[in-house]
Structure 1
Amino acid sequence: MAAVVGIDDLRRPGGYAVQVLAVAACYYGAARLGLLRELSVEGAVVTPIWPPTGVALAALLILGLGCWPGITIGALFAVLSVTSLRFDVLGTLAGQTAAPVCAVLLLRRAGFRTDLGRLRDGVALVFLGALTAMLISSTVGIGLLVLMDKLDLHNFWPVWLAWWVGDAMGVLLVTPLLLLLHRARWPPSLARWKEATALTVVACCLVPLAVYSSISLLFLVYPLLIWAAVRFQLVGSVLCALLMSVLAAVAATDAVGAFAGLSRIEIMAKLQAFNGAMALTALLLSALITEQRHTRRSVEQACQELVEVLEHLTAGEAPPPRARQDTERADGADGRPGPTGPP
């Protein structure tokens, strides 16, 4: 449905240009946010979380592949804000554009749904959209730096790993949030606002304690993440994971709290291991819970329809039209006649 909407918008006069400029502006804004926190790995400056990759993938999933020039334009302005235009920069732009495009193609082949209501959707986003497709941008970017003699060959793997994980974290943390915002109903339901408020207060108190404590207490965030996933599914777990990742990135770049006294390589390894494990837990657990809830609702609805059919058959009446259609479908499925009322 998202792709169809994107195609319809492209047919409107000026609609394509507006979409491209909007994607470029969002990409550039996300890039400026990502550049606020940087880490130096083997002389190269990388970002622990690169939000533009999540913005790019979400834009392609929502608007369609036709908006890809907006990614290139946004990446160009983001690069020009920190360096000059060179040959290796052009190659980096190509990699930053090709990675989310390939991610969308892989996700479509896997039957991905943007509502993330199935476990297979969460698995596809993690392993195809984030971990596999983002290999393109990191390999192209770091490979060009080595070819241009701007990075020593023996430093390839540490910098490549930091680049790849940063891009993947952008997909895991930002893309699900944007997909949820796109499908959200406004105003949001306030049925459990008391519990949501309690979760927010606990998160704002517990997460800084876990991140900035001189004792390694990062494990304390996982019960909170499980609470958010069980009670509020994807929206709760993604927001909690985003808060935790941002605070952890701030502490890591300042080398304080749980990251104090570590080398740059150790800081990057610890931060990315924490962010990766947390994002995987949030996304997969919430997708599994959502799928189970959908299955339970389907079973409850089928049981209710079966009860209605039995009540009508007991009373000697014909089953209601919907129940009769369900019975006919069941007959065709197993090849055996279903229950029928008296003539």
Structure 2
Amino acid sequence: MAAVVDTQQLRRPVVFAVQTLTVAACYFAAGRLGLVRQLTVEGAVVTPIWPPTGVAVACLLLYGLRSWLGIAIGALLVVWSIITPGPSVIGTVVGNTLAPVCACLMLRRVGFRINLARLRDGVALVFLGALGAMLISATIGAGLLVLTGKLDPGGFWAVWLAWWVGDAMGVLLVTPVLLLALGVRARPDLGRWREALGLTLIVCVLVPVATRSTLSLLFLIYPLLIWAALRFQLVGSMLCALFASVMTTDAATGGSGPFVHLTSVEVMIKLQAFNGTMALTALLLSALIAEQRNTRRSVEHACEELMEVLDHLTAGETPQGRPPPARRPRT
């Protein structure tokens, strides 16, 4: 018995260490991926989509608040890879860690479910997890740039807005995909694989054309999102939105397609307006459809149970399948 207890006590620190290093590695990899495409706003380099925030929020929701240490280590490694070590590094790491932790706490407070099967879960992720909590990281990050003299005070709000939207887009686009991939154990519907293949081919052809054309054809992506949400719910719509966002960001940072001849501020506004509306459409529409389908299944299940009860009563039996007790004859 003592050996078993000792083994369990030794196993917990090992599991915690492995989990922390895994979260840190995933955060760092997502950060390096996000740095591939950058924009310059008021002399400061920002990323239109910051995937590590989505990774951090997903890890906290799936594995608990103890994941904060891995997030802090990953954020520290990302910051050290792009700037020289200094006092501002600690502040940036604190902001990048505190914002996802606050997002997780607020989502738990309102009873958030990681399967995103209710409309209220989608609304909570948008307004609490993304738009609300990411105010913390944006304020700390832009404020440190001003305090350290790397940014003019007049450019604070432009950089703050770009920072905030980039972090929020990471939550809106990356967190739902990771929650579905790692947290939900639902069986894929293989009955519509032909339709899924057809939708994938159309998306892979139409999205690059829409994002590279100078005719402003980005509106063509929305019917694909609606199709994916109606037929494949959150999995299809969020994968479609993520792919479209990556392609659009690549076109915007390269100054091609509908973003040609625009200033850096105009590119940021147009890109983030498109990414934001697309992510909101995919997430909220999918959550609404999932909620309606779950409600319909509940109603159908209740109707089936009611029919079984009526059948038993009609046959002269109790709902448990037993005949009613015999009455004693009167003397």
Q: TM-score, normalised by structure 2?
A: 0.93
d(CA) in 2 for partners of 1:62 and 1:9?
Answer: 23
Secondary structure at 1:12's aligned position in 2?
Answer: helix
Q: Contact 1:92 / 1:141 at 8 angstroms: preserved in 2?
A: yes
Query: Which structure 2 residues correspond to residues 91-240 of structure 1 after superposition, within 5 A?
Result: 91-185=91-185, 188-240=188-240
User: Aligned in 2, Cα 1:341/1:191: closer, same or farther, shift over 3 Å?
Assistant: farther
Query: Which structure 2 residues correspond to residues 322-333 of structure 1 after superposition, within 5 A?
Result: none
Counterpart in 2 of 1:317? 317
Residue 314 of structure 1 aligns to which amino acid in structure 2? T
* Aligned-residue CA RMSD (Å): 1.9
User: How far off is 1:183 after superposition?
Assistant: 3.1
User: Aligned in 2, Cα 1:342/1:218: closer, same or farther, shift over 3 Å?
Assistant: farther
Unpaired segments ≥5 residues, structure 2? 1-7
Secondary structure at 2:45's aligned position in 1?
Answer: strand
Residue correspondences, number: 318
Counterpart in 1 of 2:52? 52
User: How far off is 1:148 after superposition?
Assistant: 1.3
Q: CA-to-partner distance for each residue in 1:306-340, whole Å, 9 max, x for gaps?
A: 1111111111111137xxxxxxxxxxxxxxxxxx9
Secondary structure at 1:45's aligned position in 2?
Answer: strand
Q: Contact 1:47 / 1:163 at 8 angstroms: preserved in 2?
A: yes
Q: Contact 2:49 / 2:167 at 8 angstroms: preserved in 1?
A: yes
Counterpart in 1 of 2:67? 67
Task: Establish whether residue 90 from structure 1 lines up as the match of residue 90 from structure 2.
Answer: yes
Q: CA-to-partner distance for each residue in 1:72-94, whole Å, 9 max, x for gaps?
A: 11011111111111111210100
Counterpart in 1 of 2:5? none
User: How far off is 1:13 after superposition?
Assistant: 3.8
d(CA) in 2 for partners of 1:11 and 1:130?
Answer: 35
Q: Contact 1:9 / 1:16 at 8 angstroms: preserved in 2?
A: no
Residue 53 of structure 2 aligns to which amino acid in structure 1? T
Percent identical residues: 66
User: Aligned in 2, Cα 1:193/1:231: closer, same or farther, shift over 3 Å?
Assistant: same
User: How far off is 1:342 after superposition?
Assistant: 10
User: How far off is 1:188 after superposition?
Assistant: 3.8
Secondary structure at 2:282's aligned position in 1?
Answer: helix
User: How far off is 1:235 after superposition?
Assistant: 0.2
d(CA) in 2 for partners of 1:293 and 1:341?
Answer: 41
Unpaired segments ≥5 residues, structure 1? 1-7, 322-339
